[in-house]
Amino acid sequence: MGSGFLRRLASLVRKEVRQMLRDRSNMAVGISLPIIMIVLFGFGISFDLERAPIAVVNESGGACAQALVERVQGSKYFRSSRAGSFAEASGRMRRGEVIGILRIPGDFDRRAAAGSAAVQLVLNGSDAQTSKTLEGYVTGAAALAACAGGAARGTVTVVPRMWFNEAMTSTWFIIPGLITIILTIIGAFLASLLIAREWERGTFEALFVSPVRPVEIVLAKACPYLVIGIIDIALVLLSARYVFHVPIRGSVPVLFAVSLEFLIVSVLMGLLISAVTRSQFLASQLALLTSFMPAVIFSGFIFDLRNMPLWIQPICNALPATHFMRVAKTLFLVGNEWQIVAQGAAILLAYGVAFVWLAVRRLPKRLA
């Protein structure tokens, strides 16, 4: 290789950078899409129920029922409104104005005195997750209501301690996951069109008759996207710390290095898609199918992998994103757990090598 390699590479990179700068749409998407995603994921995707609209039907006029109603009204988790009758509350739920109905029956106080009070909670099952959370909060509020019947006698209490996420907010695990999603998208979306575009326009043959080698073409094409990706990594890290106040407990340089490694793998995957399809339409479809949705659903980003059917787990583990997700979440929230980091980095390296090999093999064969 030697200096000829570097010289050719430099001029190729210059060509790619110029090409990218001339068409602003690339930069626009490469920088603005991540910013949009940081805002949307950070402020938009939340699994923490707050101010859930519920209707309270108090058919009992007693003091104990009143205490329960006040407890619910005082909770930050609900935005409760009174309904005169259950029929009225049902109507509101059908129209989607409330997502739950708390009905305190007429005999509530009488039964509370006897130690066996019951309330009815009607939930809208079409949003199952929210309903479950709501049920948990109502149960909690009921347990705390002042008039709880029966003396407390030796009960088993559960004291949960959430490690790594003391704030108990989903933002703390969404933001570390976001870095994975953004890098997957940047790599796949932007890079997948590159070679396909040149094939379609017939400019690829022109490159091949020049003295450059396939590996140089691949490297040069990847370079501008790596720069965009690095800017994106920095954006996520800065916003994590200064906007969302998510702790970074592990080493920032290590986090940055592994992110860079994952970025390279993503860009290579995009290039590979591009080299295989040779059509912009197919490349874009394939990029979308293999990047955004799988990275959201199979990588352990919001859906817990330990919770999925066993036969799906090999699919999850086949995604590079899954391995980077584990490292990113650990470095953000847990700390320098070298075994997890080293394992993830090694797997990503293997993917990187495999993708380069496949992409390079694909190029010259097709020309002949």
Partner 1 sequence: MIWLTEFRTFLFQIYHLVRKEFLALLKDPKSRAILIVPVIAQSLLFGYAATYDLTYSPYVLFDASRSIESRELVRRIDATGIFSRAATLSSQNEIAPMIISGKTAVAISIPPDFARRLAGGENAPVQLILDGRNSMTAALSAAYIGSIAARYSAERFGAAQAIQIERRAWYNENLNSRWTILVGLIAALAMIQTLLTSAFSVAREREQGTFDQLLVTPLRPLQILIGKAVAPVVVGLVQSSVIFCVIRFWFGLPLAGSALLIFAVLVVFNLAAVGLGLSISAYALTMQQAMLYAFLAIVPMMLLSGLFSPVSNMAEVLQWVTYANPMRFGMDAVRRIYLEGAGLEQIWFDFVPLAVMAGVMMPLAAWLFRNRMS
Residues numbered 59 to 118 that lie near partner 1 (CB under 8 A) are: 68, 93-96, 99, 112, 115-118
Query: How many angstroms separate the CA atoms of 56 and 214, rounded?
Result: 69
Query: Biggest alpha carbon distance in the chain?
Result: 92
311 contact partners, CB below 8 Å, separation of at least 6: none
From 30, 22, 26, select the one nearest 235 (Cα to Cα): 30
The residue from 76, 211, 306, 314 that contacts partner 1 (CB under 8 A) is 306
Least Cβ distance, residue 250 to partner 1 (angstroms): 12
The residue from 13, 17, 35, 148 that contacts partner 1 (CB under 8 A) is 148
Tokens at 312, concatenated:
């799906």
Smaller CB distance to partner 1: residue 123 or 233?
A: 123
* Span interacting with partner 1, options 2-10, 245-253, 259-267, 326-334, rule CB under 8 A: 326-334
The residue from 3, 84, 163, 368 that contacts partner 1 (CB under 8 A) is 163
Q: What are phi and psi of 82, to 5 degrees?
A: -80, 145
Per CB under 8 A, which of residues 244..273 are in contact with partner 1?
Answer: none
In a 10 Å sphere around its CB, with 0-12 CB exposed, 13-18 middle and 19+ buried, how is residue 242 labelled? exposed
Per CB under 8 A, which of residues 26..65 are in contact with partner 1?
Answer: 26, 28-29, 32-33, 36-37, 40-41, 43-53
| 363 lines the binding site for partner 1 (CB under 8 A) | no
Provide the 3-class DSSP secondary structure of residue 210: coil
Per CB under 8 A, which of residues 194..213 are in contact with partner 1?
Answer: 197, 200-201
28, 190 in Cβ contact below 8 A?
Answer: no
CA quadruple 284, 285, 288, 289: dihedral sign:
negative
From 217, 193, 216, select the one nearest 25 (Cα to Cα): 193
From 146, 41, 60, 158, select the one nearest 103 (Cα to Cα): 60
273, 287 in Cβ contact below 8 A?
Answer: yes
* Span interacting with partner 1, options 81-89, 223-231, 327-335, 347-355, rule CB under 8 A: 327-335
Per CB under 8 A, which of residues 330..349 are in contact with partner 1?
Answer: 330, 333-334, 337, 339-340
Smaller CB distance to partner 1: residue 199 or 356?
A: 199
Least Cβ distance, residue 29 to partner 1 (angstroms): 4
* Span interacting with partner 1, options 212-220, 253-261, 264-272, 296-304, rule CB under 8 A: 296-304
Give how many residues touch partner 1 by CB under 8 A.
119
From 137, 69, 75, select the one nearest 109 (Cα to Cα): 69
| 329 lines the binding site for partner 1 (CB under 8 A) | yes
Query: How many angstroms separate the CA atoms of 218 and 151, rounded?
Result: 74
The residue from 282, 317, 358, 366 that contacts partner 1 (CB under 8 A) is 282
Smaller CB distance to partner 1: residue 111 or 241?
A: 111
Smaller CB distance to partner 1: residue 159 or 368?
A: 159
